[in-house]
Amino acid sequence: MSPNATPPVASSLIAPPLGHALPSYLQADNLGPWGIYLQQVDRVIPYLGHLARWAETLKRPKRALVVDVPIQLDNGTVAHFEGYRVQHNTSRGPGKGGVRFHQDVTLSEVMALSAWMSIKNAAVNVPYGGAKGGIRVDPKALSRGELERMTRRYTSEIGIIIGPTKDIPAPDVNTNEQVMAWMMDTYSMNQGATATGVVTGKPVDLGGSLGRRDATGRGVFTVGMEAAQHIGLDVVSARVAVQGFGNVGGVAARLFAQTGARVVAVQDHGGTIYQASGLDVPALQAHVAATGSVAGFPQAEVIANDTFWDVDCDILIPAALEQQITAANAGRIKARMIIEGANGPTTPAADDILQERGILVLPDVIANAGGVTVSYFEWVQDFSSYFWSEDEINARLVRIMKEAFSGVWQVAQDHKVSLRTATFIVACKRILHARELRGLYP
């Protein structure tokens, strides 16, 4: 199958994309996520020196597995879903990256997400390669029992390539601690021994780590605070707009609000809300927990989804899906700084517009690396069966994020490049240096 091809729809259960006639990756700039990643790599090759010799490695996933996931539905019929696990690069260690359940998931998207994991893991210098997985399904259309059966069958199918020293999945969009518990149990049953280290993002009572739930949002907040200092932005009086109010966006919004910033706009799959004086973030979190969406939150004004990009704000946090900031809306954004909580939210064309307009973009490959950093801590704790306190975890996370960000900032200054290109320079050099040291097999 061509990497950009949309796989055949696997089940009549699959709902049309939320709020769109076409998935956003077909609408924006006409590039799939994998195409965007390839452009990002091309931009960095001139900075790789002699390591450029190995750059082709970055443009090909090491391994891509497509699996059929048949399950019996509650009504007795059988539905088939298409699942993926892609290991982009394992030069620096086992594959590592989340699993996404979404009706728009494609092989191209999972390939790009796996590649961004290689870059991210190298950028924060955790000893992993990059991987990602997903199932093309709308999980909201499944019962809990169907979701569990689908997760278990998928885990069994990809069981031939995952494992605590081979490739370690984690949560991503629409997957959570419970899904990780089912994955861990299924893998362990097939192995005949409990293998807590096969996934991260597990419940704390099953070998999960304290601090993991908030880690990505905390990392977003940490690099945001660091960058704000560099550009003289006072976060305490800043206005923040957040797209996506889940694990990443919800936590980042909470942490910014706790420092005094005003969260003025939030968009999720259900709609967009606005409150100039600042939304009550804990109350909004309680509303989302109860209703599933920010829609209908009583203490806010409803605005049109597209108006979100015109909102007067200082900090914009895309924390939903890819290709949200495109050439079509980048010119309208008012923020001074964009912190990419989501993976791949900005297209290369939009990146250029934002750079021209002097809007600082903190790229996904560093800004949302907090999650995988604490996943790394979880994996280390599982191996040693010795668990750390939450304070210790948060302190180590903040130290790693600050150090990584400061290194990337310096490279950006030295080469006069964007933070995205700087992060790619740091990461690609680490990956390709490892590649060179290992040599070509056989």
Q: Which residues are catalytic?
A: 132
The secondary structure of residue 14, as a DSSP letter, is P
Residue whose CB is less far from ligand NAD, 245 or 274 = 245
Query: Other C-beta atoms within 10 Å of 386: how many?
Result: 8
Query: Least CB distance from residue 308 to ligand NAD, whole Å?
Result: 8
Task: Find all residues with CB under 8 Å of 134, minimum gap 6, and list them.
Answer: 83, 84, 99, 100, 101, 102, 105, 109, 110, 113, 172
Determine the Cα–Cα distance for residues 36 and 96; give it in Å rounded to an integer. 21
The distance of closest approach from Cβ of residue 117 to ligand NAD in the complex, given in angstroms and rounded to an integer, is 9
CB of 284 to ligand NAD, least distance (A): 11
* Residue 101 to residues 66, 104, 211, 265, 318, Cα–Cα distance (Å): 14, 9, 23, 26, 19
Residue 362 corresponds to which tokens in the numbers above?
Answer: 């903190």
Q: Judged by CB, which is closer to ligand NAD: 252, or 353?
A: 252
Determine the Cα–Cα distance for residues 173 and 202; give it in Å rounded to an integer: 15
State the minimum distance, in angstroms, from the CB of residue 214 to ligand NAD. 9
Beta carbon of residue 33, minimum distance to ligand NAD (angstroms, whole number): 10
Task: Give the interface with ligand NAD as residue ranges (CB under 6 A).
Answer: 18-19, 171-174, 216, 243-249, 267-269, 319-321, 341-343, 368, 371
3-state secondary structure of 371: helix
In the block, residue with structure tokens 């790693």: 400
CB of 432 to ligand NAD, least distance (A): 23
Cβ proximity to ligand NAD, 180 vs 321, nearer residue: 321
How does DSSP classify residue 15? P
Helices (H), 192-301: 212-231, 247-259, 281-291
**Residue-by-residue DSSP string for 44-69:** HGGGSGGGGGGGGGGGS-SEEEEEEE
Dihedral sign for Cα atoms in the order 250, 133, 152, 203: negative
> Sign of dihedral through CA atoms 382, 384, 389, 392?
negative
Residue 54 · residue 362 · CB < 8 Å: no
Nearest residue (CB) to ligand NAD, 21 versus 440: 21
For ligand NAD, the closer of residues 47 and 250 by Cβ is: 250
Cis check for the bond before 33: say yes or no (omega within 30 of 0). no
Considering the complex, what minimum distance in angstroms separates the CB of residue 20 from ligand NAD?
7
In the chain, the N- to C-terminal Cα span, in Å, equals 28
Which residue's Cβ has the minimum distance to ligand NAD? 246
Minimum Å distance from CB 76 to ligand NAD? Answer: 30
> Which of 48/252 has CB closer to ligand NAD?
252
User: C-alpha distances in angstroms, 272 versus 208, 300, 302?
Assistant: 33, 10, 6
CB 102 within 8 A of CB 174: yes
| Rounded CA separation 210/316 (Å) | 28
Instruction: Compute the distance between CA of residue 115 and CA of residue 223 in angstroms, rounded to an integer.
Output: 22
* For ligand NAD, the closer CB: 194 or 305: 305
Nearer to ligand NAD, 173 or 255 (CB): 173
